[in-house]
Amino acid sequence: MTSGEIFTGSFTQQEPIPDDAITAALGVLRHGRLHRYNLVPGELGETALLEQEFAALTGARYCLAVASGGYAMATALRALGVGPGDKVLSNAFTLAPVPGAIASIGAVPVFVGVTDALRIDLDDLESKAGCGARVLLLSHMRGHICDMDRLMAICDAAGIAVIEDCAHTMGATWNGIPSGRFGVMGCFSAQTYKHVNAGEGGFLIGDDAETMARAVLLSGSYMLYERHAAAPPPEVFERVKYDTPNISGRMDNLRAAILRPQLTRLPQQCAAWNLRYARVDQGLAGVPGLSLIERPKAEGYVGSSIQFLLPGWPGDAVAALVARCRERGVELKWFGAPDPLGFTSTYRHWRYAASDPMPESDRVLAGLIDMRLPLTFSPEDCDQIARIIRAEVIAGADRTGPDRA
């Protein structure tokens, strides 16, 4: 057992659902109309209201609430006409639902590398823009937003439509523009570990009427699309309704009721995450053998998790560090592990989406450590966590003598 202070908090415990959200959920349970299209005359419904409010929050013309962020991504791909055998560009550094969305429709992921700043490698993207892909499914992985101006210039020049995976960037911005508003469509998650919590859930936003009409039909609206308040007008649906299949993945009124009050608190929640992020970041500054991730000035990030690199550390030394921190109550996730574990995997593990080797990305991932920062942690908790990591990294560096960053 490693000696020293022990952290006793939980890395998976979220804040309670707010009282007003519980009250709203009880209202839905009492009237029993959980299905989004089960309404009484004159009633708009919780899901339609949520879509209106999320569209207003992001500045999007249209919004669709769905069953999950992964479903939102697959729906966006289908709405853009991606089908079996089509190539889709995407990040090598992301989580499995992103390539899973591509593979679920029979399309073929073409992975783009990751930089030491944990952002998509724009030079690699530019070199692969001529591969025949018509779509980039861009993951703002762990909340790190790349230079969106350059990315859009690359994609626009190559005729590539951009779908943004904003599962980790709800409330974040680039040069003041909300995440999800650069591409043709933006996808968000409301899963428990994201920035609003419905257990599961997702959003799809966009300004293009036809693709969003297709998304509504794909989500399982049947011919009830006029019950949506943040959807394109009926004449757009008339053009596409006979050619768009129903692949049901609707959000229900219960989850929508839970989410609506949470949206109003999002700015305060984002500020609270960033306070905790800053405490850990400051606590790890200057540790030999550890590199922190610089945040660009243009990026308005949400620090609901934190990452750092251990450049040059051998795999057994990283694994030992993770184990020692776990003994002291600190749960670190390692993206360089040989096998997937829990939520953590990389492009090398996705055999359904085979890729050529990417040595530069492998170098980055080999020393990449990730840690959640739930809001149930106090700022003082974050200071303690940083002290534990700092001590164990210094001890590990002294034992193994890896190359220092």
Greater model confidence, 340 or 367: 367
Rounded Cα distance, 29 and 276, in Å: 36
Q: What class is the 19-264 domain?
A: alpha beta
- 220-229, 234-243, 343-352: least confidently modelled range: 343-352
Per-residue confidence band for 238, with pLDDT thresholds at 50, 70 and 90? very high
Q: Is-above-0.85 flag for pTM?
A: yes
What mean pLDDT is reported for the chain?
96
Determine the average pLDDT of the residues in 268-281. 98
φ/ψ of residue 170, rounded to 5: -65, 120
Which candidate, 14, 70, 67, places its Cα nearest to that of 254?
A: 67
On the question of pLDDT at 72 being above 50, the answer is yes
Q: CA angle, 267 as apex, 250 and 164 as ends, to 5°?
A: 50
Q: How much is the pLDDT for 401?
A: 53
Q: Which tens digit of pLDDT belongs to each residue from 285-321?
A: 999 999 999 999 999 999 999 999 999 999 999 999 9
Q: Which tens digit of pLDDT belongs to each residue from 114-158?
A: 999 999 999 999 999 999 999 999 999 999 999 999 999 999 999
User: What angle, 0 to 180 degrees and rounded to 10, lies between the N-to-C axes of helices 266-284 and 253-264?
Assistant: 70
- Where do the structural domains in the chain lie, given as residue ranges? 19-264, 266-400
Give the residue ranges of DSSP H helices in 241-291: 253-264, 266-284
Per-residue confidence band for 405, with pLDDT thresholds at 50, 70 and 90? very low
Greater model confidence, 342 or 36: 36
108: three-class secondary structure by DSSP = strand
φ/ψ of residue 300, rounded to 5: -95, 90
Residue with tokens 């149930």: 376
Q: What class is the 266-400 domain?
A: alpha beta
CA atoms within 13 A on the CB side of 125: 30
Task: Give the full edge-to-edge strand order of the sheet including 173-174.
Answer: 177-178, 173-174, 299-300
Rounded Cα distance, 219 and 51, in Å: 14
Per-residue confidence band for 404, with pLDDT thresholds at 50, 70 and 90? very low
What are the E-state strand segments in 140-218?
161-165, 173-174, 177-178, 185-189, 202-206
Determine the average pLDDT of the residues in 400-405. 48
